[in-house]
Structure 1
Amino acid sequence: MPTASATGKATVHRLIGLGLLLVGLTYPFIVYLGMGHLSPRLFALMLGTLWLARALSPRQTPLSRTLSIAALSFCLVLALADSSILLLGYPVLINLALLALFAGSLCSGMPIIERLARLQEPELPPAAVRYTRKVTWVWAGFFSVNAAIATGLALWAPLTWWTLYTGLIAYLLMGLLFAGEWLVRQRVRKAT
């Protein structure tokens, strides 16, 4: 039976994760609404506090460790530079960190998608292993393109376009990719 201390730590860990998820999802809108009223240093302090709490958590996976280091580095640079344009770089940073994680998993060890697939089906057939490798490549490509679009919008487009893309369209595209891959996976399973 877990102790009260362990249960409390798990709850705090989940709350920090939920906080980061909510901030991540609403970040473009927070920036859009607060850019004229709040200093970039304040954004860096608030975001950095959440990421530092996450980084100090004993439950670190390669994904959370990679994202924590990247996000804390970003917050430090943002605080030092106090630059409004850097505020727009956070979605780029997250996409590049995810790209590095997915692409890195293709070069060393088991690809991310294969790891996720093995959670449901530990003994994957060789065809499924090849399929998960291809899907990991697709996600790496998605994060690469998404980072490029977010960069272009941050540098050359109005703030409203950046907000619309990074706060809504990118998530819709991610959902479409996820749903499309699920449909393809069902067809591949039936064919084998």
Structure 2
Amino acid sequence: MRNLFWVALTATYPLLVYLGLAHAEPRALALLLLGLALARFLASRSQQALGLALAGLLLAALTAWSNQLLPLKLYPVAVSAALLVLFGLSLWKGPTVVERLARLQEPNLDAHGVAYTRRVTQVWCGFFVLNGSLALATALWGSDATWALYNGLISYGLMGLLMGGEWLVRRRVRAHKTAES
């Protein structure tokens, strides 16, 4: 439940920054990022959370020093980069992130399932590259409203579409495999 709270807070971060601009300068909003990054680290204490906490600390410090909004807008880029590293390293070291998640429901995953989860992990890596690139583009060249809309809504919709699409593909693959058996 505690992790769900931090995920929800992270998801609303772009909206909170956008709305906060009407009431505070970027320097004050840096405290939001600093608090979010540190709280997420304390909640999970993983290497990924530490990396994001350090990125959040650096971006918050840059914002506090410059009083510019850009460093705050780069946090979604850092999140996509961290997820890309997490999923990408799992392709190299194994088992993949998706395989680990699949084994929670199906501990005796067969070779076909392992290959499938590897492919899904590769697709997620591609998604994180695309999402991070779009997050960067909106931070550098988009308006504040465009940045908040993409990073606070559209990117999550795209993630949901990818998850839903993968679920449909997985059902089809399983049905095909069952028919072959």
TM-score bin (small chain) = 0.7 to 0.9
Please, what TM-score do these two structures have when normalized by structure 2? Answer: 0.86
Which residue of 1 is the match for residue 117 of structure 2? 132
Aligned in 2, Cα 1:128/1:65: closer, same or farther, shift over 3 Å? farther
> Do the aligned partners of residues 124 and 62 (structure 1) sit closer, same or farther apart at CA in structure 2, a change above 3 Å counting?
farther
Q: Output aligned runs, 1:148-167, within 5 Å.
A: 148-167=133-152
| Identical amino acids, percent of aligned pairs | 46
Query: In structure 1, what is the Cα distance between the partners aligned to 2:119 and 2:22?
Result: 43
Aligned-partner SS, 1:129: helix
3-state DSSP of counterpart to 2:79: helix
After TM superposition, where is structure 1 displaced by more than 4 Å over at least 4 residues in a row? none
Q: Which residue of 2 aligns with 1:51?
A: 37
Gaps of at least 5 residues in structure 2 are: none
Quote the residue 1:84 is aligned against: 69
Contact map agreement 1:20 1:51 (CA 8 A) in 2? no
Indicate the larger mover: 147-156 or 64-73.
Answer: 64-73
The residue aligned with 1:112 is 97
* Cα pair 2:37 2:56 within 8 Å, conserved: yes
Amino acid paired to 2:146 = W
Does the 8 Å CA contact 1:19/1:50 hold for their aligned counterparts? no
Amino acid across the alignment from 2:21: M
CA RMSD for the aligned pairs? 2.0
Q: CA deviation at 1:108?
A: 1.3
* 2:6 equivalent among 6, 20, 23: 20
- The one-letter amino acid of 2:7's match is L
Deviations 1:136-190 (A, max 9, x none): 0100110110110111111112222222111111111110000000000011111
Determine the structure 2 residue equivalent to 1:99. 84
TM alignment of 1:170-189, pairs within 5 A = 170-189=155-174
> Could you tell which deviates more after superposition, 67-76 or 39-48?
67-76
For 1:72 and 1:105, locate their aligned partners in 2 and report how far apart those are by CA, in whole Å: 26
Cα drift, residue 18 of structure 1 = 4.0
1:82–1:104 Cα change, 3 Å: farther
Q: How far is 1:46 from its partner? A: 2.5
Q: Give the TM-score normalised by structure 1.
A: 0.82
Aligned-partner residue type, residue 28 of structure 1: P
SS in 2 for 1:56: helix
Give the match for residue 169 of structure 1: 154
